[in-house]
Chains A and B, each alone.
Chain A
Amino acid sequence: MEQEQVWIQQALGGNQEAYTRLVEAYQTPVYNLAYRMLGNAQEAEDAAQEAFIRAYTRLRTYDPTRKFASWLLSIASHYCIDRLRRRRFNLISLEELPPWQGVVSDRLQPEERLIENQKRDAVQALLAALPPHYRASVILHYWYDFSYKEIAEMMDLTESAIKSRLHRAREMLVQAAAQADEDKKPIVAGAAQAVPGGMGR
């Protein structure tokens, strides 16, 4: 944490090398957020890069009493939400987007890779059923273990609004899964076979 603050101070002084260290430290959380939000490797790369650039230009507004990760992921989620809204205005459907690529490790065995692909597709199919703001709340809650309060601060909302959104989002996720079951294209059931038992993280 101390090293992180040193890098932030150095980056504020114009040291881009120090900022590169910060990018290396947080590239996976930011890229994962962009990927889960946008559901596409190319867009995720572009959005994650843009989030880091926005963070660099707003570094003076960062409050050191807050967690840097929360501040950075807040910028990334707002940017992804805007991007999803623009995508809706531009009438780009999910089918028009490039196929999934480059995110499942090449080190995996073919069978493991197949399972990972199934799980990844199932997760993204479920997330795609959520509106942008709900999707961001769900991702921040499940992948980063942020509390209601932390998510509320990141999304500029109240805790009760986040609680309500997570509840509504869960209802939508269940509906999407049930609809897929009715259409004989089960999302969760197929992927769940590959998932070991146990509750949550």
Chain B
Amino acid sequence: MMSKMRATKPCPQFSEQMSLAMDHQLSAMEERELREHLRACDACQSQWDMLQQIERLFATAPLIGPPAGFAARVSARLAERESRQQILFGVFSLMVGAVILGLVALASLGEIVPSLYLVVTTPAAWRGLAVVMELLSLAESVLNALWLAAVAYVRSPGTMICATYSFVVLVLTALWLHVLTSRLLRPVPVSRQV
């Protein structure tokens, strides 16, 4: 007869054996060894008893089912998820389309840029540009001079008298030219020539 051991903690070498015994994984000899040890060791026997109680508690705890309508709720969630994915797919497709268009535009630019480079690197192009700039500058000066003359004319005190006099002179000159040209250009009748 073995004397009882007074250990407070279960023996490590038998702790794993107890777990394997719960799952019927020990050989007959190992089981016998464990049984003998349990009879001799209070701490291991106490652990074994507790393991048995927990085993019984778990073994009799039922499978818990969901509240009614679970399958319908899963279907609804699945449908919602799929519709959201379709929207995301649509947005993604649009973005891919936009990226492709951008790449096509970049490719076109790739063809234009070399031609532009050739023009820019020609000396004649720069000289032509200088001439155009000078002409523009000249046109700007002429327009400025005309603008200043017009402003000075409008702001002078006798503008109305001068304008009326000029208008009358122009009208009288036009009438005189009209009379003169009509007499000079009038055709001579045939009978009088004879």
Q: Which of A16, A119, A123, A177 contacts B50 (CB 8 A)?
A: A177
Which of chain A's residues 16-71 have a Cβ closer than 8 Å to chain B?
16, 19-20, 23-24, 27-29, 31-32, 35-36, 41, 44-45, 48-49, 52-53, 56
Contact across chains for B63 and A32 when beta carbons are under 8 A apart? yes
A64 to B51, CA, bound (A): 37
CB neighbours (8 Å) of B19 from chain A are 163, 166-167, 170-171
Instruction: Report the Cα distance A171→B55, complex, angstroms.
Output: 12
Q: Which of A132-154 contact B (CB under 8 A)?
A: 138, 141-143, 148
Question: Smallest CB–CB gap between A12 and chain B, Å?
Answer: 14
Interface positions of B from 52 to 96, Cβ below 8 Å from A: 52-61, 63-67, 70-75, 77-79, 81
Contacts of A36 in B (CB 8 A): 64
Most B CB within 10 A of own CB, among A123, A163, A174: A174
Q: How would you classify the secondary structure of chain B's contact residues: helix, strand, loop or mixed?
A: helix
Inter-chain contacts of A143 with B (CB < 8 A): 58, 61, 63
From A143, which residue of chain B is reached at the shortest CB distance? B63
The residue from B20, B51, B57 contacting A123, defined by CB atoms under 8 A apart: B57
The bracket for how many chain A residues form the interface is 35 or more
Given contacts A27-B66, A173-B54, A174-B54, contact A49 B59 (CB under 8 A): no
A13 proximal to B (CB < 8 A): no
Give complex CA distance A128, B22 in Å. 21
* Cα–Cα distance between A6 and B72 once the two chains are bound (Å): 20
Q: Tell me which residues across on chain A come within 8 A of B67, comparing CB atoms.
A: 41, 45, 102
Number of A-B pairs, beta carbon distance below 8 Å: 123
Measured as residues with beta carbon below 8 angstroms from the partner, the interface class of chain B is: 35 or more
> Which of B52, B61, B78 contacts A120, CB < 8 Å?
B61
The reply to whether the CB of A188 lies closer than 8 angstroms to some CB of chain B is yes
**Chain B, Cβ-Cβ closest to A23:** B71
A110 contacts partner chain B, Cβ-Cβ < 8 Å: no
Residue from A23, A138, A192 within 8 A of B56 (CB atoms): A192
Contacts A20-B71, A170-B19, A174-B50 known; A28 to B56 CB distance under 8 Å? Answer: no
Query: How many whole Å from B128's CB to the nearest CB in chain A?
Result: 66
Q: How many angstroms from the CA of A24 to the CA of B70 in the assembled complex?
A: 8
Expressed in whole angstroms, the Cα–Cα distance for A35 and B64 within the complex equals 8
Find A31's partner among B65, B75, B81 (CB 8 Å cutoff): B65
Of the residues A24, A141, A177, contact of B54 by C-beta under 8 Å: A177
Q: A178-B50, A199-B52 are in contact. Are A123 and B70 (CB under 8 A)?
A: no
CA distance A24 to B77 in the complex (A): 15
Closest chain A CB from B44 CB (angstroms): 11
Q: Which of A23, A35, A173, A199 contacts B75 (CB 8 A)?
A: A23
A166 in contact with B23 (CB, 8 Å): yes
Question: Is B111 located at the chain interface by the 8 A CB criterion?
Answer: no
B45 within 8 A of A: no
Chain B residues within 8 Å of A31, by CB: 64-66, 70
Cβ of A97 within 8 Å of any chain B Cβ, yes or no, is no
Bound: A48/B131 CA distance, A: 81
Instruction: Beyond the given A23-B75, A173-B51, please list 5 additional residue pairs across the A-B interface where CB-CB is below 8 A.
Output: A16-B79, A44-B66, A122-B57, A171-B19, A199-B56
